[in-house]
A and B are shown apart, each in its own frame.
Chain A
Amino acid sequence: MKLNTSAAPHLRTKNSTKKVMIDVLIALIPATIFAVWAFGLKALYIILLSTISAELLEFVTMRFLRKRKDFTPDFSASVTGLLLGLNLSLAVTWYHVLIGVLVAIILGKHVFGGLGQNIFNPALVGRVFLVVSFPIAMTTWDIPFNNTELITSATPLGLLASSGPAEALQNYSYMDMFLGKIPGSIGEISALALIIGFVYLVIRKRIKLMVPITYISSVFIMTGILWLINPDSYATPLFHLLAGGLLLGAFFMATDMVTSPMTMKGQFVFGLGIGLLTVIIRVFGAFPGGVSFAILIMNAFVPLIDLWTKPRIYGTKLKGDVK
């Protein structure tokens, strides 16, 4: 009788990295559907182009540049591509999308060594590259549910920066912001759609939950303090939660497993840091939105955070230890 003598454990989880990626894609479906509903076929075109070209580029890179002959898609590149697409403005053209994908997959991921090795969230690397290279295309916002030609208008955060909280709230109600009747990146506008996807991830246990919890609550508390100090010049915390890319960033970008810390404590510090930076950039910075930059900056701190917050080893640092 031929017996297999592979090492223990002999039972393994039925879970897999591929299944994790597929679940993230599923969780982004509500936001995708809403984007297409609100912005029409152009949004679908951007999202599909970005997702498919990312997966293709990953395949070509792995098979031909990195010579991994047995590589089959794990859909991590699709997640990157889809997130990048959802982070774009409707005003971009096909070459913006392709440049973004190229930067995300190659500069954001493969120069570090591919899946699992990258320091920064690849989709955000692509987005930020586009924001600084093509500022006009990336910040020309269309009004959703408008069937005529592109009508440029300011996002809630843009209005807040230029004209203050009262003006911003006159144009867009909280309900508009919750449902997604506001200008913005095609996938970020509907808080509701994002929350549905988030709940799916929580139910499927596919998310480092501590990150969005600390991120969102720290933004809420800090903007709340500012608002209490001076409600005339600072927006309400609720406004900050619903405006801009905060929820998309908190649920889907900051929680990227590769670029976030490994322990609960670390994830707490990480979420807090992103919250602090987001508020600082939004309130005091030159850009109206700060989520992308805040997450990227904290990504860079992850190795340090992991070092500071490593778990306690059983039997060490006990009460009464001399050391």
Chain B
Amino acid sequence: MAFLTFKGGVHPPEKKELSEKKEIKALPLPNEVFIYLSNHLGTPAKPIVEVGQKVKTGQMIAQAEGFISANIHSSVTGEITEITEMINAATGKKDKIIVIKRTSDDEWHLFEEIKDFKKETSEVLIQRIKDSGIVGLGGAMFPTHVKLSIPKGKKADTLIINSAECEPYITIDDRMMIERTQEIFKGIEIIMHIIGAQHTYVGVENNTPKAIKSMEEAAKNDQIDVVKLQTKYPQGAEKQLIKAITNKEVPIGKLPIDIGIVVVNVSTAFAVYEAVFKGKPLVERGISLTGEGVKEPGNYIFRIGTKVKELLDVCGLVEEDKIDRILYGGPMMGIPLPDINLSTFKGNNALTVMTKDVVKTDKTYPCIRCSACVMVCPTGLQPYLMKKLLDNRKQDDAKEIGIMDCIECGACSYICPSHIDLAKTFKTSKKIIRIMSQRKGK
């Protein structure tokens, strides 16, 4: 049978076997958590607690500030010991954090349970999602209540659940679908109810047969289809997923909602279920702790704000001199950590510890125009040409041929036989171009 997909893409080694058979386990409660106030895309949240204050698990400690922002809750029961700063690996700059010392086992601060969600209006449910601080758990951390608030004049007829875990190593969504099937389906039904979607597609890559099976068995509702997708990177990129499933493209400069589609990650659907059915704010999530540098890779539930070192100590690390890098996320788009003593985010679906023998930095050759980058670019760009223009400081020309549409998936860098850092150049150049056009006042 032919599986659906998009044009382009690459097939990196999957490496899912390290953790795909490991059941999800809850990690022991951390003794201390360090919670970033930028735990989402948009404006950082504003602290509403003071040093010395006692907080319960699930109690709000920082409030959404502005339209695109999200609430933040304490992930342990304890005492606020400090409001200070910590390096954010994504930006390299220091960000505000709230430090909480755990003093006892969990005393939960929960919302009222909403079992019969169909009787509630969209507004009530969206407010619940906002109150619970839910953000996109696929990694982008876009506030979910904003995504589910359909602008006036627009209609969301299709919901797509993104279960295409296309990054190598990561298996948490796979395990969630196997072990939390019913909860995920409740979450999907809630989201469908909120946005008024007629139909839902659950997009799953064909390298997760168990997850496909349990999802298909649960999808008795004829409004929900489980769609098998080719295992190919970046299958889980929003626009590529939409193309694969619906054969529609999001016009340039527009959002999926402009063509009637909303895409939500599968773990986010689970978080929505917990917020509505159990009244539980987002204080914990699933994560794959994996990579050749980890002794016992596996899938776990962790409290947001636990230090990376504490998480990795649970599964054990190999000898220090063998470790090359530690990533938030997987090896294709993952953010490398400068220090193991940093904290974790709501968007962390994996910590991948890569060893030196896996990451081999090879010699760079000149571009021989082999056309591999053009063939794999899922956006239809010409990476070799953009790189050439940028090397000659022709940012305007690079913009002309579409650099701003680059999704930074890294497929071009992965495939390049001359080992040229294409994606890295595009990422930094996009930032520079954005700053330059802001200065011009465009």
Contacts and interface: CB of A to CB of B under 8 A. Distances in A.
B323 interface: yes
Contact of A313 (B252, B326, B335): B252
B417 A315 contact: no
Given A3-B338, A318-B251, A115 B366 contact: yes
A306 B340 CA distance: 46
Contact of A6 (B336, B340, B410, B414): B336
B338 to A, nearest CB: 5
A37 B175 CA distance: 62
B413 A12 contact: yes
Contacts, number: 159
Contacts of B401: 310
Nearest to B6: A314
A20 interface: yes
Contacts of B414: 9, 11-13
B424 A7 contact: yes
A contact patch SS? loop
A315 B332 contact: no
A225 interface: no
A116 B252 contact: no
B78 interface: no
A217 interface: no
A76 B370 CA distance: 13
A310 B361 contact: no
Given A258-B369, A262-B374, A13 B325 contact: no
Given A115-B366, A116-B366, A257-B368, A313 B423 contact: no
B175 to A, nearest CB: 22
B323 A1 contact: yes
Given A10-B327, A16-B418, A314 B371 contact: no
Interface in A1-31: 1, 3-13, 15-20
Interface residues of A, number: 43
Contact of A17 (B252, B323, B338, B368): B368
B41 interface: no
B288 to A, nearest CB: 15
A117 B366 CA distance: 9
Contact of A9 (B333, B337, B363): B333
A6 B325 contact: yes
A31 B367 CA distance: 28
Contacts of A135: none
A277 to B, nearest CB: 21
B12 interface: yes
B382 A311 contact: yes
Contacts of A17: 365-366, 368, 370, 417-418
Contacts of A1: 320, 323, 340
Interface string A258-271: 11111100000000
A8 B325 contact: no
Interface string A50-91: 000000000000000000000010101000000000000000
Interface of B: 12-13, 168, 239, 243, 249-254, 320, 323-327, 331-340, 352, 354, 358-363, 365-371, 374, 377-382, 384-385, 401-402, 405, 410, 413-419, 421, 423-424, 427
18 contacts: A1-B323, A3-B339, A9-B413, A10-B332, A10-B359, A11-B13, A11-B359, A12-B416, A13-B414, A13-B417, A16-B363, A17-B417, A116-B366, A116-B368, A259-B369, A260-B369, A313-B379, A321-B251
Given A10-B352, A314-B249, A314-B252, 8 more contacts: A4-B324, A5-B325, A11-B332, A16-B418, A20-B368, A257-B370, A314-B239, A318-B251
CB-CB nearest 8 A-B residue pairs? A9-B410, A7-B424, A17-B365, A315-B252, A10-B331, A116-B366, A311-B380, A4-B325
